Amino acid sequence: MDEFQDHYAVLGLQRDASAEEIRRAYHRKARKLHPDVSQETGATELFLQLQKAYEVLSDPAQRAAYDQTLPPISAPPLATLSILYSRPSLVHIREPQLIYTLIELSPPENAPVGPGLPLNICLVIDRSTSMQGERMDMVKATALELVRQLRPEDSLSIVVFNDRAETLVSASQRLNRHAIEEQIRHIIPSGGTEIFHGLEAGYMEVRSKATRNAANHIILITDGRTYGDEEQCMLIADQAAVAGIGISALGIGEEWNDALLDNLTSRTGGSSTYVAQPGDIKEFLWQKFNGLGKVYAERVNLEVLFKSGVELTYAFRLSPDVAPLQVSSPIALGGIPQKANMTVLLELKVPPLYGTTDSLPLAEGRFILDIPVASRSGYSLPLTLARPVSAKPVIQPPPTRLLQAMSRLKLYRLQERAQQKLAEGQSESATRHLQNLATHLFAQGKQDLARAVLDEIEYIQHNKQISEKGKKRIKYGTRALLLPAGYLDSQPVD
């Protein structure tokens, strides 16, 4: 008899089986395998194995000694990782080459779906003079509706700011809805815009109630351009990232600084959104509130070291929401929704390849994530990126999903290049990029956005610069093309 037989497998049990489960399994199988009953070939040997398994596992001391001889239990992963590359191999050439990789993080198929994380949210609302009228009315009306939807376990704080900040509602899970609603109704716009003061106060409120098992988030709402405090805003964003606090931003109208808000939010795994009309404010806030708590994993970060002179030149999150990412490690990625995926596209620049190397390591790292439903904090998922190297190019199209992502991202990057050329004073080069963009948009049936690009080309030809309205409409319009299928059709273009 094989003394190294798997006694648990013989009984058909898992290693954590109780004494009663072991007893019942033994008697059930013994009735079937007893030599006086079973005519099955090898029944006697199987019965002897069954007796040996029961003898060991029914005795606590023998079971403990036996368990020590077994390899560690291989627990199923709490998240799965898939990687696609834009090319099957790199090539031995004396110039740099680009390679794209699409990385997807997913919950396991049988992942539990909880009721949603408690919310720990601060609304940081610009109350400068430019917010008066319909903009502020819509913000206040939506905030009132959101307050009425909060659960007992949720924490809400509200900060308003102009050239200084005021905390209207301090973070608390014992919400006095009537008092909060009165505070919201009495917000009166006045003064200028200094985002740092509002952001700092909002950060302090969220941090005071932050836990690893909550959705800790700041939602910044502004329509103005802050001046002189941009670096201070970035420092707050960096502190928030370390504390596991996300920042999302809503820019209303045309006068706010989109580059600042993108930089601010990307440092924490959040995103910025543009709305041209006050009526769209409600939809943004509802989507953000509904999505924040309904996550499988929170505070997802990528810690990565690129090898062999490889450089990360661009990073973009394609889902669950679209946003440019930082290219320095650690890269904050946000959260993974319940029963959905997180998808990230990386552009890597590989230096000239010499010699006879058969393969090239590109990067080593790991994803770090908190999984509240599994009570796991700091769960680690290793990442290795590498490619074969060949003497000649291997002609093979990229995987369809990666090709589609690259195709849609190309349109967004065309407008990025156009804006870069304008910043360098090269208006003719910028218009060529925009003309190329308009052609692609017309080909894809995006007539409204394509015409907006053509209008902006004419504006640039007369003014040598892009208009703020056109800039944001094109930037966020092409960014919206990266959203999952079916989402874009429900969104307004302007």
List 295's β-bridge partners, or say none.
Answer: 337
Domain boundaries, the chain: 7-68, 80-112+296-396, 119-293, 401-490
Contact 192, 162 (CB under 8 A): yes
Number of H helices, E strands in the chain: 14, 16
- What is the dotted CATH code of the domain comprising 7-68? 1.10.287.110
Average pLDDT by consecutive 10-residue portion of the chain (494 residues)? 67 81 85 66 75 92 89 78 94 94 92 83 95 94 89 91 94 79 92 95 94 92 92 96 94 93 95 89 87 90 92 95 93 92 95 84 92 83 92 88 89 94 94 95 94 95 92 93 55 34
Phi, psi angle pair for 173, to nearest 5°: -95, -5
Interatomic CA distance for residues 375 and 212, integer angstroms: 10
**Per-residue model confidence as pLDDT tens digits over 268-280:** 999 999 998 888 8
Is the domain spanning 119-293 CATH 3.40.50.410? The answer is: yes
Tokens of 66: 């036996």
Fold of 80-112+296-396: Immunoglobulin-like (2.60.40)
- Pairing mode of beta strands 246-252, 272-275: parallel
Instruction: Say whether 119-293 and 7-68 share the same fold.
Output: no
pLDDT digits (tens, 9 = 90+) for 70-129: 877 666 788 999 999 999 999 999 999 999 999 999 998 888 777 788 999 999 999 999
What pLDDT, on a 0 to 100 scale, did the predictor assign at position 28?
79
Which tokens sit at 218? 């700041």
Residue the block writes with tokens 């009495």: 186
From CA 108, how far away is CA 77, in angstroms rounded? 7
How far apart (Å, rounded) are the C-alpha atoms in residues 235 and 225?
18
